[in-house]
Amino acid sequence: MLYLEEEIKNLVYKYNPSGHLEIFKENKIEFKTSFGYLNESLNLKIKDDSLFSFSFMSKIFIIISLYQLVEKGLLDLETPLNKLIPELNNTYSFSVSKVISGKSKIKDLQDDINRKYQNEKFYLELNDLEKILYDFKQSTLSIEFPDVISYLNNNSLGDLNLSNNSKTILLLLKKVVEVVSSMKLEEYIINNIFLPNDINIRSGYNTRLLSYSNFIDGNNKALEFIGDISEYFMISFDELSKFFSSLFNYKLLKKETCKLLLPKNDEYYGILFYYDNGFINADINSLKGTCSSGMDNKSLDLLVVLTRNSFGKKIPGPTSDESFYSGLIDVLFTNYFKYNNPKLKKMEFKYLNSACKIDVFEEQYRYVASGAFTIAYCSFSKKNHIYVLVDNDCVVGLVSLFWDKTLKIYQLNSIIIDKKFQNKGYGKYIANEGSKILFKKGAHLVEIGVNRNNLIAIKTYLSSGFIISSSDSSHYTLVRYKNDLLN
């Protein structure tokens, strides 16, 4: 734990975030800390009992509510969406489960609104900070259920799958909860999630100022749900811990049901991050430290609760908060997970079938190709050499190494990590090991080209020792010089 404590202190000192962090392991709180301010201008520091506003329109609350209704026998997830929401036309006759899984190709009203204003002259003339603040303001504007219904009925399905964390999807799933339960969403969550687990909330009226005089104690049973609710709600870190502990100890859902919240390949709770920038945005992610069927960490239960308050600062700093979040993931990975035995190996016939099946997420296709396409493309040049990243005989990813000793060109090309194994440090590993191979081939400088919008890849390469040397309208060229990497 000493490494964890020291590294988190270093991250807090470096990026000056505001928030609260708790780590649960084996159903118990192993580590917790608070840092920064509720309101820096008023010198209100964050404590365990500090209050944060939240919205019931949160993915985690809605998904838990849906699965509770399934467990009660009130909802079949294979029911057509437009049967439960008859306002929708026949385009939306696919199942509720397809909407939850993010495979429905429903278009997002908020994305459509964003695309329109982001192409307008006034927006293009804003600096980066002004764009961030404007985007945040737009994201808080109200989009109501009738707006979504009208938009969807007047548009066909899209080409890409839509995240189940989008406003459009959440409004549709909220409606499903309300139709099946015959309750407003807020009422259902309070009576079926909060009250049974003694989780107390507070409510405030007509203001979002962090002033304790504006709150009333949350005697939840006294809340009445008549028409539109004018209150907004707040929860403390202590009460937030009760919520996650209830989830983690299978008090909200059965263990078998909880597994449905994770990707099919995951056999245990991974890491759950919880954010707060005025409203709650919750997501469930799995972080496995290994990839083979005989995983060292197969039985590891780990839950991380991170609540952020970017807007409690005198000057909002979303960029520094993202850096803190990214750094925290690296620290957690180092502290709790280890590679099994990754090796970067030259392509052999026995790896070919698995390497051809390497694939990435749909939204990443604009940056990288599939394994099969990359292997086929590189086969046309004798100067491209395919290497595969193998961990315990499991093919995790691949890279194309290019070298021309006459022209003195040495490049890392087409780094691909299969979508099942992303966000586990393999990208950084393959960048380091690929560079070592090229340095041994005679390189004094290794290059890699990356799309300017591929921010995750850029971060990975920068953290691996590369620096940006040049750029054009669409790409950066990053380089790494021969140094003590091989020593």
> Which regions in the chain score pLDDT beneath 70?
1-3, 26-27, 53, 129, 132-133, 136-142, 160-165, 204-232, 259-303, 308-322, 330, 333-340, 392, 483-487
Strand, helix or coil for residue 351: helix
Domain enclosing residue 365, as ranges: 342-486
In a domain, 306, yes or no: no
In a domain, residue 197? The reply is no
Any domain includes 466:
yes
The answer to whether 403 and 381 are in contact (CB under 8 A) is: no
CB 428 within 8 A of CB 457: no
pLDDT of residue 231: 53
Mean pLDDT, the chain, whole residue set: 75
pLDDT for 95: 92
Which residues lie below 8 Å from residue 394, measured CB to CB, with a gap of 6+? 291, 292, 293, 354
Written as six digits, the tokens of 153 are: 């009925």
pLDDT of residue 51: 75
Q: Which residues contact 72 (CB under 8 A, 6 or more apart)?
A: none
Quick check: is 259 in a domain? no
Residue 222 phi, psi dihedral angles, 5° rounding = -85, -10
CA distance 168 to 388: 40
Residues composing the chain = 487
Q: How many distinct structural domains can be found in the chain?
A: 1
pLDDT of residue 282: 36
Rounded to two decimals, the pTM is 0.58
Check if the beta carbon of residue 150 is closer than 8 Å to that of residue 144. Answer: no
The Cβ-side half-sphere exposure at 403, using a 13 Å CA radius, reads 17
Regarding beta strands 37-39 and 44-45, do their DSSP bridges make them parallel or antiparallel, or are they unpaired?
Answer: antiparallel
- The 8-class DSSP code of residue 337 comes to -
Amino acid at 123: Y
What is the arrangement of strands in the sheet containing 231-236, beginning at the earlier edge strand?
51-54, 231-236, 202-205, 215-216
Flag whether 263 is in a domain.
no
Residue 457 near residue 367 (C-beta atoms within 8 A): yes
Distances (CA, A) of 209 to 51, 52, 113, 219, 458: 11, 11, 28, 21, 38
Looking at residue 367, which CATH number applies to its domain?
3.40.630.30
- Note the pLDDT of residue 138: 67
- Which tokens go with 182? 């015959």
Q: What is the separation, in whole angstroms, between the first and last Cα of the chain?
A: 29
388 vs 347: CA distance, rounded Å: 6
Sign of the CA dihedral with 186 first, then 100, 363, and 109 last: negative
Identify residue 186 by its one-letter amino acid code.
E
Q: Is 192 within a domain?
A: no
Query: Rounded to the nearest 5 degrees, what angle is found at the Cα of 362, between the Cα atoms of 111 and 168?
Result: 30
- Residue 273 falls inside a structural domain: no
List of residues 6+ apart from 326 with CB closer than 8 A: 459
Tokens of 429: 């590993």
pLDDT (0 to 100) of residue 13: 86
Q: Return the percent helix, strand and coil in the chain, to nearest 5.
A: 40, 20, 35
- Asked whether residue 405 is assigned to any structural domain, the reply reads yes
